[in-house]
């Protein structure tokens, strides 16, 4: 008979092998949300948005810097 290794309830930690524990935790890594790099200044920006640092979008200046 086929045996299913599904842990349905709390299992004593000594009963879970290092391999099985590490296989489970292999999917626990944090993933950074989608970010792209600005082509002009290289800053990390959100995709499909004007770069807040240099004011460009798709290589064109959309928002001009304020002169002080």
User: By CB under 5 A, is residue 53 in contact with Zn ion?
Assistant: yes
Nearer to Zn ion, 16 or 52 (CB): 52
Q: Which of 11, 16, 37, 41 binds Zn ion (CB under 5 A)?
A: 41
User: Is 58 within 8 Å of 36 (Cβ atoms)?
Assistant: no
How big is the CA angle at 57 (ends 30 and 65), to the nearest 5 degrees?
A: 105
Distance CA 13, CA 26 (A): 17
User: By CB under 5 A, is residue 16 in contact with Zn ion?
Assistant: no
User: By CB under 5 A, is residue 50 in contact with Zn ion?
Assistant: no
User: By CB under 5 A, is residue 38 in contact with Zn ion?
Assistant: yes
């Amino acid at each position: 008979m086929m045996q299913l290794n599904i842990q349905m309830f709390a299992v004593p930690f000594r009963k879970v092998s290092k391999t099985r524990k590490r296989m489970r935790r292999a999917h626990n890594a944090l993933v950074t949300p989608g970010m792209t790099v600005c082509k002009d200044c290289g800053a990390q920006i959100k995709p499909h948005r004007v770069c807040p640092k240099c004011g460009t979008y798709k290589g064109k200046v959309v928002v001009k810097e304020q002169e002080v």
